[in-house]
Amino acid sequence: HAKKNGRNNYQFYMESLNRAATERFSMERDLNKALENEEFVLFYQPQVDLASRRIVGAEALIRWIHPLKGMIAPDTFIPIAEESGQIIDINRWVLQAACNQKRDWLHAGLKAIRVAVNLSGYKLSSQNIIGTIKEALGKDSADYQNLELEITENVLMQETRETLSTLKQIKALKLRIALDDFGTGYSSLSYLTSFPVDVIKIDRSFVMGCITEPKNLIIIKAIIAMGHSMDKRIVAEGIETEEQFSLMKALDCDEGQGYFFKHPVPAADFAEFLAKEKL
């Protein structure tokens, strides 16, 4: 029976491999049409100042409304787009859409807030990000300070010299740079001194267990102490409970994001939420 089972396992393995490859291929093909068919949409999640509990920013989070499959989460298609290079066009679309939204909110009389955009993808330096930013923000130089770019360590790990030069150009434009998912990589600390980073976003895996896991608490305290000593703003990701909110506030964390405050929502819902905020 061993031989038969071995063959079955092999067949099963090949079939699932095939299925995965086919799915990947069809997603890549569909992604090509997604931009021209305007199937992408940005959701927004508030970033809250923990001391005052006021909304100070919004993180733009992309969703893909697939004509047949419905809403697809970014973790499903962003990695594929990164590998295929389609991420370059997606990054450009996201930057443009977020900047337009920011402008619309201002014109609608809502209070000025920061908007944070996720920039992923290898070879940041070869994406003409600077040109895209200038195009998206236009002439209004005051706007530049309210645009924040979130990058992760894996962006910094690739083409380090070119990436550093790109980040310096971004800083010269007065944008802010946030290091997303902080603490999950393996050389986080050295990145903080080597790259011009303004904001540290503590990964939600630490925040989630901050009450029950003493180890997480130790790491969070260390990140906040170190970040503050380097004059960086600290944002806690994934605050889901009142307890976590109180603890992060007590630890002098500057800002927070999470389901406790609000889930990511479409732009219109976000505007309503922002307008209702007590002044």
Q: Of the candidates 27, 31, 34, 45, which one interacts with ligand C2E according to CB under 6 A?
A: 45
Paired tokens of 182: 């902080």
In whole angstroms, the minimum distance from the beta carbon of 13 to ligand C2E comes to 29
How many Å is the maximal CA-CA distance in the chain? 73
How far is CA 144 from each of CA 16, 108, 156, rounded to the nearest angstrom?
A: 47, 19, 22
Contacts of 131 (CB under 8 A, 6+ apart): none
Is residue 55 involved in binding ligand C2E (CB under 6 A)?
no
Is residue 10 involved in binding ligand C2E (CB under 6 A)?
no
In whole angstroms, the minimum distance from the beta carbon of 9 to ligand C2E comes to 34
Is residue 73 involved in binding ligand C2E (CB under 6 A)?
yes
Nearer to Mg ion, 15 or 178 (CB): 178
Q: 200 and 218 in contact (C-beta within 8 Å)?
A: no
Is residue 118 involved in binding Mg ion (CB under 5 A)?
yes
Q: Give the range of 106-114, 186-194, 207-215, 231-239 binding Mg ion by CB under 5 A.
A: 231-239
Q: Of the candidates 94, 155, 170, 271, which one interacts with ligand C2E according to CB under 6 A?
A: 94
* Strand residues in the chain grouped as ranges (E): 40-49, 54-66, 70-72, 114-118, 147-151, 176-182, 199-202, 233-236, 255-256, 265-266
Query: Which DSSP category does 263 fall into?
Result: -
Pattern of binders to ligand C2E over 118-157, x per CB under 6 A? Answer: xxx-----------------------------x-------
| Separation of alpha carbons 257 and 191, rounded Å | 23
- Find which of ligand C2E, Mg ion, none residue 94 binds, CB within 5 to 8 Å per kind: ligand C2E
Is residue 39 involved in binding ligand C2E (CB under 6 A)?
no
Is residue 264 involved in binding ligand C2E (CB under 6 A)?
yes
| Separation of alpha carbons 245 and 263, rounded Å | 15
Paired tokens of 7: 């063959």
In whole angstroms, the minimum distance from the beta carbon of 76 to ligand C2E comes to 9
* End-to-end CA separation in angstroms for the chain: 73
- Find which of ligand C2E, Mg ion, none residue 73 binds, CB within 5 to 8 Å per kind: ligand C2E
Is residue 199 involved in binding ligand C2E (CB under 6 A)?
no
Which residues of this protein are in contact with Mg ion, per CB under 5 A? 118, 150, 180-181, 237
